[in-house]
Amino acid sequence: MEIAARTTFFLLFVNLIFAHRATVSGAATLNGGVILNLQSLVGKMARTSILMAMEDFYVVHGNYTTKIVLHIRDSNADNVQAASEAVDLLENYNVRAIIGPQKSSEATFVSDLGNKSQVPVISFTATSPTLSSGSVPYFLRATLGDVAQVNCIAALIKGYGWREVVPIYEDTDYGRGIIPYLVDALQEFGASIPYRSAIPVSASNYQLEQELYKLMTMQTRVYIVHMSSSIASTLFTKAKELGMMSEMYAWIVTDGIANIINSINPSILDAMNGALGVKFYVPKSKELDDFTTRWNTRFKQDYPNDPPSQLGTFGLWGYDAIWALAQAAEKVSKVDDIFHKQHHRKNSTRFGTMGTSTIGPKLLDEILHNKFRGLSGDFDLENRQLQPSIFQIINVVGRGSQEIGFWTEKHGIIRQLDQNGSKITNVNSMPDLNPVIWPGELYVVPKGWQIPTDGKKLRVGVRTSGYPEFMKMERDPITSAITATGYAIDVFEEVLKRLPYAITYEYVAFDNADSGIYNDFVYQVHLGVYDAAIGDITIGYNRTSYADFTVPYTESGVAMIVPVKDGTNKNAWVFLKPLTTDLWFGSIAFFIYTGIVIWLLERRINNAELTGSFFRQLGIAIYFSFFADRERVDSILSRLVVIVWVFVLLVITSSYTANLSSILTVQQLQPTETDVHELIKKGEYVGYHNGSYVGDLLEELDFDRRKVRAYETSDDFADALSKGSKNGGIAAVIHEVPYIKIFLSKHCKGYTMVGPIYKSEGFGFAFPKRSPMVNDFSRTILSITEGDAIIQIEKKWIGDQHACQNDGAIASPSSLNFKSFSGLFLVTAVASTSALLIALVMLLYKNKHKIRNSISRVQTQGGYGSEHANRQNQERELDYNQAQSMQVIVPNDPEDGTCQQEIEICIEFASPGSEVKPSPDFAPREAPGNSLLCNDKSA
């Protein structure tokens, strides 16, 4: 009472000072009301900030024309009290604006009063989304609504891989308002809320304990706390006493608590150690640092008996709200400021006679359009509330908090911001956030769920499979206990061994196992009969609508089982098969080319073998290509070509012989059918396992239902395949790959697998929708299937996969193609062409003088101009005459050789253009010295 009296006296003193200053300065006054819970931490914090805002504004704006006079009232956390104070302020003090109230439930009623009297109501602490309705246009929220933070919380849930969360909230408008939006946000990120824990404001410690005990019996271990700090303090204290602030648990507090986390009692912070929180991010500035220092001093003066507190975001929003109101008041004319009173009517209530403010609409409009940079950041109420901004993610550690990251609407969770809080410096997934110390002082992320502590066992549904190798279920006739064995059971129990926690379980038999319908078996999980269903359960699309599946632990796909036949080729033209067509033609082309090269090289040196007609010589040259090692070649270049060609011929011949031998001798087991669509065209009968979804698949593939037969066991399949489609059996079995492996392990000879012909997801374990165990089981299954454990399990139940020699069709030897010998052909082509070019160069070099003379003659005949034509004719005539008159003395030598040479010399003296025509009467005559004259006829 003494503190309250002091507070009242101080407020009256401040109001008198402001009124005096207003009177002295001649400024107009504008009454404003403030409604807070002055007994709460937020109320005390806001009151100090509001008073400092009034002082700071009028110190900065010394030439003000309108002075705001505040009337502060205490709601005492009571909705009726808050409404009563608002009515008193409106009727008796004619306030033109109301700051507050503090709680959302109080603001709901006060906002209606403001709307009726046209008085703006500005609350910086009421965050309930229900207050955002357009039906109360005079209500302004100088803070962020709770809706703004739900996406940040949902992003945290998704980042850490949690599938289920439980909200713990106070049962008020403030607590309930966020839940619908939180549910939607979590569903969008793939998480759900299996239970909602509503805590009454008047809940006793015993009631809180009972609620926490109830939460401990559930699987979910992730909690979102959305309540006032007073109730949250008791909640966390009790949770620590019950061991719920330890490993396996994760706690997230909303901004209502996180914004004042550093002002909470240290003993409460110890209980909250390890919790995460989201709060509004306030950018740092020098003005904020200076104000924080002054605020700490002022708060100690205002509340000397209270423990030290740190300035929270609500205090900053209160400060900025006062500045927004003061700036708007400066722009509103006070000339027509009248508070119209309603006429008193009989039987009317007190609210019915409430007046309306004439400057209210103008004042509201100025506040909505007033934008400035406040201590909390950008202050803008154009949309009647502050706009979503950046949220800071904190971790409660020791007796304080540390920053681990941020969240923005545009970029999601990020690690750091630049100084302006607008540029991303590191964007990545959750592991890149700063390290988090979780409850129990651990750095390992809690998995978010745990088997309940009430001793309940995990009920695992089992059933006997058509293939006992996968699962066989037996019931003890005395104890009725269920035992199960098989491939699926070994995988399931191996998963349980590798989980980082223990699970107690019991097998529960599927009562309708005789029906053979696996869809009904899986649907029992959805109905809650089983907590899980295991076995040879195919992961199908239709089943995912009512159950969640782990990753598959077997191979996937649907294939065919068909008989095999001896595919040895007995065709009359089988000798052509070792080589492909391109290799045959390529070899022939190089045969011909090599023969032509050898013919050209040997023709140059007059090989005795190359005589006769052209076609005979060409045939002999090509014959060289086939039997070059048996024929004589004289040229060195020809021998080089032959050596290279013999090597190429040897390689091709050897390869041809080996491949032909393989084709003729190796037994090739080929499937009788290779295409499922051919079975449909031929109208063949096919089989499938009874109760399998493959029956529906065959209908989708347009199989005639009369041509589809269901069987139970692998022996039934073998018997039907052996008969054949025309003898009352089937031509193929359409089955899943894991089952085919078991079939081939028993019936190795005579059958093979073709496919897969259709994609499927394999076998998995079924859990209820959004079960938290799915992720843990899936990760563990991956560790099993990627190691040696799955191989040992397969050998135990299926056998050695490589023991059967015809579990797949033996591929026939493939024909040799041109590409396989392209290197050899390139070598022989280079050798032959090079030899041909070398021979050509040698020929040109040997006859270079004759070529040069021929070139000179051609140039001489065509190189003279028309101006020398006459001179050339004269010279030719003179030379001709000289040749006619020339006499050669021949000695008495009986040999004609000398005369022949001399005659040739005579001819050379003749003109190149003239023709020597011997005269008929030209005869040797006796010359002096007994010499003879040669005539042309002797030549």
| pLDDT for res 19 | 45
Asked whether residue 847 is domain-assigned, the answer is no
d(CA 466, CA 689): 8
- SS3 category, 2: helix
Do 310 and 226 lie in a common domain? no
**What counts of helices (H) and strands (E) characterise the chain?**
29, 35
| pLDDT for res 876 | 53
Averaged over 1-7, what is the pLDDT? 45
Helix extents (H) in 786-821:
789-797
Tokens of 749: 């000879």
Q: Give how far the C-alpha of residue 591 lies from the chain's centroid of Cα atoms, to the nearest Å.
A: 57
| pLDDT for res 281 | 93
Residue 904's pLDDT band, with cuts at 50, 70 and 90, is very low
Cα distances from 857 to residues 549, 823, 908, in angstroms, run 98, 48, 14
Dihedrals phi, psi of 938, to nearest 5 degrees: -60, -25
DSSP state, 469? T
Do 277 and 310 lie in a common domain? no
**Would you say residue 316 has pLDDT above 90?**
yes
Do 38 and 185 lie in a common domain? no
Query: CB of 397 within 8 A of CB of 365?
Result: no
Averaged over 515-532, what is the pLDDT? 85
Do 261 and 170 lie in a common domain? yes
| pLDDT for res 839 | 82
Domain boundary among 666, 688, 712: 666
Average the pLDDT over each of 61-70, 120-129, 608-617, 647-656 and give the range with the smallest value: 608-617
**Would you say residue 934 has pLDDT above 70?**
no
Query: Global pTM?
Result: 0.62
Altogether, the residues listed in the chain come to a count of 939
Average the pLDDT over each of 558-567, 868-877, 904-913 and give the range with the smallest value: 904-913
Cα distances from 490 to residues 295, 494, 496, 652, in angstroms, run 67, 6, 10, 55
Asked whether residue 929 is domain-assigned, the answer is no
**Would you say residue 833 has pLDDT above 70?**
yes
Higher pLDDT, 577 or 216: 216
Average the pLDDT over each of 5-19, 46-60, 821-835 and give the range with the smallest value: 5-19
d(CA 877, CA 913): 9
User: Tokens 């000179």 identify what position?
Assistant: 856
**Would you say residue 779 has pLDDT above 50?**
yes
Tokens of 700: 């989708």
Domain boundary among 555, 583, 613: 555
- SS3 category, 86: helix
Dihedrals phi, psi of 103, to nearest 5 degrees: -90, 150
Averaged over 518-530, what is the pLDDT? 90
Do 371 and 400 lie in a common domain? no
- SS3 category, 35: strand
Q: Is 543 marked as binding a ligand?
A: yes
Do 274 and 298 lie in a common domain? no
Asked whether residue 910 is domain-assigned, the answer is no
Tokens of 710: 């269901």
d(CA 251, CA 165): 10
- Return the number of other C-beta atoms located less than 10 Å from residue 846's C-beta: 10
| pLDDT for res 453 | 54
Query: CB of 258 within 8 A of CB of 277?
Result: yes
**Would you say residue 667 has pLDDT above 80?**
no
Averaged over 225-240, what is the pLDDT? 94
Residue 10's pLDDT band, with cuts at 50, 70 and 90, is very low
Asked whether residue 885 is domain-assigned, the answer is no
Q: Burial of 829 by CB count in 10 Å (0-12 exposed, 13-18 middle, 19+ buried)? A: middle
- SS3 category, 380: strand
Averaged over 238-259, what is the pLDDT? 93
Most confident of 368-377, 465-474, 802-811, 930-939: 368-377
- SS3 category, 807: coil
Q: Which residues pair with 123 in a beta bridge?
A: 141
d(CA 505, CA 456): 8
Q: Is 483 marked as binding a ligand?
A: no
CATH number at residue 482: 3.40.190.10
- Which residues make Cβ contacts (< 8 Å) with residue 456, sequence separation at least 6? none
d(CA 28, CA 30): 7
Residue 660's pLDDT band, with cuts at 50, 70 and 90, is confident
Residue 927's pLDDT band, with cuts at 50, 70 and 90, is very low
| Percent of the chain topping pLDDT 90 | 34
Asked whether residue 14 is domain-assigned, the answer is no
Q: Which amino acid makes up residue 90?
A: L
| pLDDT for res 167 | 96
Do 38 and 136 lie in a common domain? yes
Residue 743's pLDDT band, with cuts at 50, 70 and 90, is confident
Strand 732-736, strand 686-689: pairing = parallel
**Would you say residue 624 has pLDDT above 70?**
no
Higher pLDDT, 478 or 85: 85
Q: Give how far the C-alpha of residue 728 lies from the chain's centroid of Cα atoms, to the nearest Å.
A: 51
Do 39 and 133 lie in a common domain? yes
- SS3 category, 765: coil
Average the pLDDT over each of 171-185, 287-301, 351-365 and give the range with the smallest value: 351-365
Do 258 and 175 lie in a common domain? yes
- SS3 category, 585: helix
- Which residues make Cβ contacts (< 8 Å) with residue 724, sequence separation at least 6? 730, 731
Dihedrals phi, psi of 63, to nearest 5 degrees: -100, 35
pLDDT in tens, 73-101: 999 989 999 999 999 999 999 999 999 89
Range of the domain at 610: 574-666
Average the pLDDT over each of 61-65, 322-326, 355-359, 594-598 and give the range with the smallest value: 594-598
**Number of structural domains found in the chain:** 5
Q: Which amino acid makes up residue 36?
A: L
Helix extents (H) in 666-712:
676-682, 694-700
Residue 393's pLDDT band, with cuts at 50, 70 and 90, is very high
Do 122 and 180 lie in a common domain? no
Q: Pick from 251, 161, 186, 195: which is nearest to 776 by CA?
A: 161
Q: Pick from 396, 421, 405: which is nearest to 156 by CA?
A: 405
Do 137 and 155 lie in a common domain? no
Q: Pick from 441, 491, 361, 423: which is nearest to 784 by CA?
A: 491
Asked whether residue 565 is domain-assigned, the answer is no
Helix extents (H) in 763-813:
773-785, 789-797
**Would you say residue 846 has pLDDT above 90?**
no
Q: Give how far the C-alpha of residue 876 lies from the chain's centroid of Cα atoms, to the nearest Å.
A: 97
Q: What is the DSSP string of 390-458?
A: -EEEEEEETTEEEEEEEEETTTEEESEE-TTS-SEEE---GGGSPP--BTTTB-SPP-SB---TT-PPE
| pLDDT for res 192 | 87
Asked whether residue 218 is domain-assigned, the answer is yes
Q: Which residues pair with 766 in a beta bridge?
A: 533, 549
Residue 414: HSE in the Cβ half-sphere, 13 Å Cα cutoff: 18
Residue 284: HSE in the Cβ half-sphere, 13 Å Cα cutoff: 5
Q: Pick from 368, 321, 319, 325: which is nearest to 31 by CA?
A: 325
Cα distances from 501 to residues 498, 754, 866, in angstroms, run 8, 43, 116
User: Tokens 């020398």 identify what position?
Assistant: 868
DSSP H or E stretch at residue 371 = strand 371-374
d(CA 135, CA 19): 36
Q: Is 736 marked as binding a ligand?
A: yes
| pLDDT for res 512 | 62
Asked whether residue 934 is domain-assigned, the answer is no
Do 276 and 405 lie in a common domain? yes
CATH number at residue 621: 1.10.287.70
CATH number at residue 689: 3.40.190
Residue 804's pLDDT band, with cuts at 50, 70 and 90, is low
CATH number at residue 90: 3.40.50.2300
DSSP state, 576? G
| pLDDT for res 856 | 72
Query: CB of 272 within 8 A of CB of 251?
Result: yes
pLDDT in tens, 273-308: 999 999 999 999 999 999 999 999 999 999 999 988
Tell me the average pLDDT of the chain. Answer: 80
Most confident of 84-98, 408-422, 616-630, 763-777: 84-98
